[in-house]
Structure 1
Amino acid sequence: MERDDEGLTEDRIFTLLSMGRRRELLRAVDRLGGEATVGDVTNEIVTGEHGTDAGARARKTVYVSLHQTHLPRLVESGALVHDVHEKTVHLTERGDVLLAYLRFDPTAERAGLLSRVLRPGGRNRAK
């Protein structure tokens, strides 16, 4: 699949992050050190969705949806690189951008600068 070089517009970012399983795919690769096998990512997602005693059917459902839908979308956007022969995926700089959106929490007590500035009612302006 060809990589999209148009960039990550705000609409594109929110479209990519609109699916829960796609968000979990990014988080799983990140938790696994930024590069992982598709099998390990699948296991992470299955465990999160169905618990540790999930059956083969649940695993297959997740695996198929990753291959048919979510991996191609994230690869096309340039957020992940998928090595089909090695059966691995790894995050790119665009993937890090998407993860930054997932980490943003305007309600966090000790948030980063962006979260402090954008927190509802949280701007401390000098008068």
Structure 2
Amino acid sequence: MSNDSSTLSQDAAFDLLSNARRRLALKYLLEQDTPVGIDELAAHVAAVENDTEIEQLDEKQRKRTYVSLYQTHIPKLAKAGVVEYDPDERTVALNGKLPTITSYLSSGDPSDEWPRYFLGVSIGGLVVHVLSVLLAPQFSAAVGMVIILLFTVLSLVYYRSSRRHIRPVVSRGAEQ
């Protein structure tokens, strides 16, 4: 892979994105405006992988992630020209080949399905509620409560799902 090309081939992009830890690192770097220290990057990636807050990480989790980023993943991303790595400062930042990578990171997002779920429950709930008011008014309050309960459950499932996934192609496990 050459650093002087402004884009990556599809195969090169898929190779870089084939590892969950690299996808998590790239996603985090996408959200940053300035170079990020490897310590900070490793802490963020480890927290996502372990489904916890950064403050809750133990030293082993941080170190395992730091070492793999430092020795394997960041050098691979730098060699491909996707990131700029400053070994003296131990900082990483995205660079010119980002459009090729992000086009694959953002495709097919399962979160696009959530509006359909909410719309389905809304329309279904409205139809059922109107029918209950017209046909069995004594049960309309109970039907309304069931609809509210459905929305509550759906919202909780959505909340839990959105905390686990940064992007659709990002799995929580870290492949080494």
For the superposition of Structure 1 and Structure 2, which TM-score range results when normalised by the shorter chain?
Answer: 0.7 to 0.9
Q: CA deviation at 1:43?
A: 1.2
| Contact 1:37-1:87 within 8 A present in 2 as well | yes
Instruction: Tell whether 2:48 aligns with 1:45.
Output: no
| CA distance in structure 2 between the partners assigned to 1:91 and 1:69 by the alignment | 17
| Contact 1:34-1:91 within 8 A present in 2 as well | no
Instruction: Give CA deviations for 1:21-61 in whole Å, capped at 9, x if unaligned.
Output: 01011011112235211111111101111212121001000
| CA distance in structure 2 between the partners assigned to 1:83 and 1:93 by the alignment | 16
| Contact 2:38-2:70 within 8 A present in 1 as well | no
Q: What residue is the counterpart of 1:56 in the other structure?
A: 59
Q: Which structure: greater helix fraction?
A: 2
CA RMSD of aligned residues (A): 2.2
TM-score, normalization by structure 1 = 0.75
Q: Could you list the runs of 5+ residues in structure 2 that have no partner in the other structure?
A: 116-176
| Contact 1:25-1:41 within 8 A present in 2 as well | yes
Q: Could you list the runs of 5+ residues in structure 1 that have no partner in the other structure?
A: 111-127
Q: What residue is the counterpart of 2:75 in the other structure?
A: 72
Percentage identity across paired residues of the two chains:
29
| CA distance in structure 2 between the partners assigned to 1:71 and 1:87 by the alignment | 10
What is the count of residue pairs matched by the alignment?
109
TM-score, normalization by structure 2 = 0.56
Identify the structure with bigger relative contact order (alpha carbons < 8 Å, sequence gap 6+): 2
Which of 85, 92, 96 is the aligned partner of 1:93?
Answer: 96
The alignment partner of 1:86 has SS state of coil
Q: Which amino acid aligns with 1:73?
A: K
| Contact 1:79-1:94 within 8 A present in 2 as well | yes
